[in-house]
Amino acid sequence: MLKFDDAAGTVSYRWKVDEPAFAMPIRVGAKDNWQIVPATTEWKSMKTPLKKDAFAVATDLYFVNVSKE
């Protein structure tokens, strides 16, 4: 799950899963310049110059569904 704050230039992220202690790093950002973030079930935030439509998740490398708000 991703939440964008374009005014602040941030994106918040977390896993939405049934396992409360689930943690797995995932690649996010732009396909030519991925960043690996340590996603857990708790919300975390990061700075990004990318807007909601340009921000990607490496769904070809992980079996995940992405929800953007």
pLDDT in tens, the chain (69 residues): 999 999 999 999 999 999 989 999 999 999 999 999 999 999 999 999 999 999 999 998 888 989 999
What integer pLDDT is reported at residue 24 of this predicted model? 94
| Overall pTM > 0.85 | yes
Number of domains in the chain: 1
In sequence order, the 6+-apart residues with CB closer than 8 A to the CB of 28 are 11, 13, 34, 35, 36, 37, 55, 56, 57, 58
What integer pLDDT is reported at residue 5 of this predicted model? 96
Task: Quote the domain boundaries for residue 33.
Answer: 2-57
Q: Is residue 48 part of a domain?
A: yes
What integer pLDDT is reported at residue 62 of this predicted model? 87
Q: Is residue 25 part of a domain?
A: yes
What integer pLDDT is reported at residue 11 of this predicted model? 97
Q: Where are the beta strands (DSSP E) in the chain?
A: 2-5, 10-13, 23-30, 33-40, 44-47, 56-57
Tokens of 31: 């396909």
Side-chain half-sphere CA neighbours of 53 within 13 A: 0
